[in-house]
Amino acid sequence: MLVGVPKEIKIHEYRVGLVPSSVRELVHHGHDVIVETNSGTGIGLEDADYQAAGARIVPDAKTVFAEAEMVVKVKEPQAAEVAMLREGQVLFTYLHLAADKELTRGMVESGCTGIAYETVTGQFGGLPLLAPMSEVAGRMSVQAGARCLEKEAGGRGVLLGGVAGTNAARMAMGMEARVTVVDKSLRRLAELDTQFGPTLNTIFATVDAIENHVLNADLVIGAVLVPGAAAPKLVTREMVKKMRTGAVLVDISIDQGGCFETSKPTTHDKPTYVVDGVVHYCVANMPGGVARTSTFALNNATLPFTMALADKGWRQALTDDVYLRQGLNVHAGQVNYKAVADDLGYELVAAETVLGL
């Protein structure tokens, strides 16, 4: 298979879909790899490193999209990239379609096969290709929130659930903050109680509990996830109006539309804005701020799936692996993931139907 890696073009996005060691693995299995020039220079991976691993360097993204049978990226395709997708081409990357009608429309119209990192499941549960970036974002969220607060660590915070929330809690407690985690999963809350003991306050999620803790918080970190679907709006505009002036909201869920009603995507270039005196940090590619660490962590998780897609072809790979099959979001003008179809009003054509299972 001919695998292509374009340079990421989202603002201040320096991660890259494949590192040289991943390229070498693909080449070792008999595949050809093309990499857009300077794709990895932002994190110290030079064209020469890719060439030494067996890749062919090409001058631009147009060449990558024109030649590659499978394109491997990090972030969802931007408008210019969507225009280059074609029928029969496989795109393996984060997609977050439920939060983006225009992107979904563009991918459907392209006829490509879109396999999303964030909806691939794991043998032991969870979302193994999303988890590494959730861990990074969780840790970064506390650093970002502390910078926005511009005060000594040790203030009061509230964290909203999940893998990212757990890592945020660990970081915040290390800064001697008073931390509360609000989650609707009793099992998850019990795990956190066992892991952190009395230093962490755990609360079952109800509308009343969320409102009470948000209004009394200096820093609120939203880390809510419904796999493949738009994030629920757990903090309303009315709650934000009642928050303390100078309080901070960090929305890790922004890739899926955000879990605060007042959230809108921002960039590393302009990461914050203020609504009703409350600072909002909603950077949509937060792990891109530590791009080298994030790239290698992501490749460690995605490479086995990339290899399966290349070695077997996407149809056989998805037929053989029910967990990878959950990554199929769009194919040949159809939507294949239920949460995306439900949120955006498309007819669902299940992956099993596509594969004839």
Nearest to 221 by CA among 295, 292, 300, 166: 166
Q: What are the backbone dihedrals phi and psi of residue 59, each rounded to the nearest 5 degrees, phi first?
A: -75, -20
Cα separation, 45 vs 319, whole angstroms: 35
- Structure tokens, 186: 């009793």
Partner residues linked to 114 by β-bridges: 91, 330
- What is the four-CA torsion angle of 252, 100, 8, 108, rounded to 10 degrees? 140
Sign, CA torsion 186/188/189/193? positive
Residue 32 annotated in active site: no
Residue 96 annotated in active site: yes
For tokens 């962490």, name the residue. Answer: 200
Q: Residue 155 region, left (φ>0) first, then alpha (ψ -120 to 50), else beta?
A: beta
Q: Which residues of 169-198 are buried (b: 16+ CB within 10 A; e: fewer)?
A: bbbbbebebbbbbbbeeeebbeebeeebee
Catalytic residue among 255, 280, 321, 331: 255
- Structure tokens, 121: 């499941």
Catalytic residue among 96, 213, 280, 331: 96
For tokens 């374009």, name the residue. Answer: 6
Q: Write the CA distances from 111 to 58, 70, 183, 229, 253, integer angstroms.
A: 25, 14, 39, 21, 28
235, 247 Cβ separation under 8 angstroms: no
Partner residues linked to 180 by β-bridges: 158, 201
Instruction: Kindly state the DSSP code that residue 78 receives in the 8-state scheme.
Output: P
Cα separation, 166 vs 168, whole angstroms: 5
Cα separation, 271 vs 147, whole angstroms: 11
Which positions are catalytic? 96, 255
